[in-house]
């Protein structure tokens, strides 16, 4: 006895992976529960719309938007070849989420391509690292605005990483991050817009790190990040990738699209470092970055 098509629909809609189906015009026909959780969009907000209508807005790590002919779904519908790509989708709240997408053609019985399916899963941007006892033994307190660890919690993590470095010489790096133009945004759009930008920036930063990395609030408008097991020669590349991902985040505010740029000051741990010394280098790098106009990475 053949399966009822509704059995397949029920199976797809309950899968933990993000799954959606589109027709030849890339109009969304199915949007499952996994897609809702990863993207923030409910199915009633998506089904019937075209996926290129400011929904996921996939981009690569260089912030190149993959719409039109560069879209994996479009390419798959053109040549019928399945594809796998590591991209960043734009969450409904504005943060960038790293995902691995798999695009597959959908054919009618005669073989004609009538649409495509995409399966996507959230991925870890950087290779996993081992846990380190001193750095992990911290009870975090959350910043009430952004939900990531507050400054006091982050300082305890930093002290733990310095102990790990002294014990085992495990390299790490410290990043200080400022969202550019927040003062002007507060004046022109109000405190609510600035807070929304900070929340999106915090989610983008935290969502693109590994479990062993640490993101936290450093001051009212600044964030700090510990990159675990990050040697000095890799620091500029990793920080640059994070800066580009932040630049791809955005919010909608009273009908307007407000994007983000960020400045990042970075430094790698050195022999004999104290918390004060490594913080001072990272903050000096950030101040130099801001003085040069922002929207860049400076490493010392």
Range of the domain at 35: 5-122
Q: How far apart are CA 194 and CA 222, in angstroms?
A: 12
Q: What pLDDT is recorded for position 130?
A: 55
Q: Note whether 23 and 81 are same-domain residues.
A: yes
Last residue of a domain, one of 122, 148, 172: 122
Q: What pLDDT is recorded for position 196?
A: 96
Q: What pLDDT is recorded for position 70?
A: 79
Give the CA distances from residue 97 to residues 69, 87, 185, 232, in Å, rounded to whole numbers and listed in that order.
22, 8, 24, 26
Q: What pLDDT is recorded for position 165?
A: 93
Task: Give the count of beta carbons closer than 10 Å to the beta carbon of residue 231.
Answer: 13
Of 269, 279, 268, residue with least CA distance to 238: 268
76-94 per-position pLDDT tens digit: 999 999 999 999 999 999 9
Tell me the CATH number at 181: 3.30.70.270
111: left (phi over 0), alpha (psi -120 to 50) or beta: left
Q: Note whether 141 and 284 are same-domain residues.
A: yes
Segments of the chain with pLDDT less than 70 = 1-5, 7, 125-138
Instruction: Provide the 3-class DSSP secondary structure of residue 43.
Output: helix
Q: Note whether 106 and 200 are same-domain residues.
A: no
Taking the alpha carbons at both ends of the chain, their separation in whole angstroms is 68
Q: What pLDDT is recorded for position 1?
A: 40
Residue 128 belongs to a domain: no
Q: What pLDDT is recorded for position 134?
A: 56
221-262 per-position pLDDT tens digit: 899 999 998 888 889 999 999 999 999 899 989 989 899 899
Task: Give the count of beta carbons closer than 10 Å to the beta carbon of residue 268.
Answer: 21
Tell whether pTM > 0.75. Answer: yes
Q: What pLDDT is recorded for position 230?
A: 87
Tell me the CATH number at 118: 3.30.450.20
Last residue of a domain, one of 103, 122, 141: 122
Residue 127 belongs to a domain: no
């Amino acid at each position: 006895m053949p399966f009822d098509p509704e059995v397949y629909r029920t199976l797809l809609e309950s899968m933990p992976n993000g799954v959606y189906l589109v027709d030849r015009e890339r109009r969304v026909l199915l949007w499952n529960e996994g897609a809702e959780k990863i993207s923030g969009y409910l199915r009633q907000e998506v089904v019937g719309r075209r996926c290129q209508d400011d929904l996921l807005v996939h981009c690569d790590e260089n912030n190149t938007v993959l719409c039109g002919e560069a879209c994996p779904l479009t390419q798959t519908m053109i040549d019928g070849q399945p594809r796998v790509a590591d991209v960043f989708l734009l969450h409904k709240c504005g943060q960038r989420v790293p995902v691995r997408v798999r695009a597959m053609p959908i054919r009618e019985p005669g073989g004609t391509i009538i649409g495509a399916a995409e399966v996507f899963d959230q991925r870890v941007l950087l290779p996993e690292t081992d846990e380190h006892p001193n750095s992990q033994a911290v009870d975090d307190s959350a910043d009430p605005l952004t939900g990531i660890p507050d400054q006091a919690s982050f300082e305890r993590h930093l002290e733990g990483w310095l102990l790990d470095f002294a014990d085992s010489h495990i390299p790490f790096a410290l990043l200080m991050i400022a969202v550019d133009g927040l003062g002007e945004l507060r004046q022109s759009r109000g405190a609510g817009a600035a807070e929304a930008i900070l929340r999106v920036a915090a989610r983008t930063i935290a969502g693109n790190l590994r479990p062993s990395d640490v993101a936290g609030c450093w001051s009212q408008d600044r964030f700090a990040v510990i990159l675990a097991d990050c040697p000095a020669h890799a620091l500029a590349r990793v920080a640059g990738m994070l800066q580009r991902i932040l630049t791809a985040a955005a919010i909608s505010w009273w009908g307007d699209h407000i994007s983000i740029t960020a400045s990042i000051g970075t430094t790698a741990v050195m022999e004999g470092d104290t918390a004060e010394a490594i913080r001072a280098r990272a903050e000096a790098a950030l101040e130099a970055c801001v003085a040069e106009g922002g929207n860049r990475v400076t490493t010392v």
